[in-house]
Structure 1
C-alpha cells in the first residue's frame, strides 16, 4: 500500500524508481546504525553485563 504510493510519486521509469527506493532504504539503515541505535543503547535492558550477583 505505502510502497505503491512511493513508487507512483517517484519520477522516472520503474528501474530508476526501484533504485531510488533502495538507496533511500540504505540511507535510513546507515543513519539508524550510526546515530539512532547508539543513542538508545544505554536505555536498553539487555546491556547489563552482570550474570549474577555475589
Structure 2
C-alpha cells in the first residue's frame, strides 16, 4: 500500500515527502477535531464496569 501511494504521488522524492507530511497532518487534525471527541461522547468510559 505504501509503495503504491509513493508511486502515484507526483514530483521528486522531497516533494513526495512534503505531500505525505501535509496529508498526515491533515488526517491527524481531522482525528483530533472530529473523530476523537465523537468517540469520547459515544463511548462513555464512566458507564462501563468490570466485574471482579
TM-score (norm 1): 0.75
Q: Unmatched 5+ residue regions in structure 2?
A: 47-52
Report the count of equivalent residues.
47
Q: CA RMSD in A?
A: 1.5
C-alpha separation between the residues in 2 aligned to 1:24 and 1:36? Answer: 16
TM-score (norm 2): 0.78
Partner of 1:12: 11
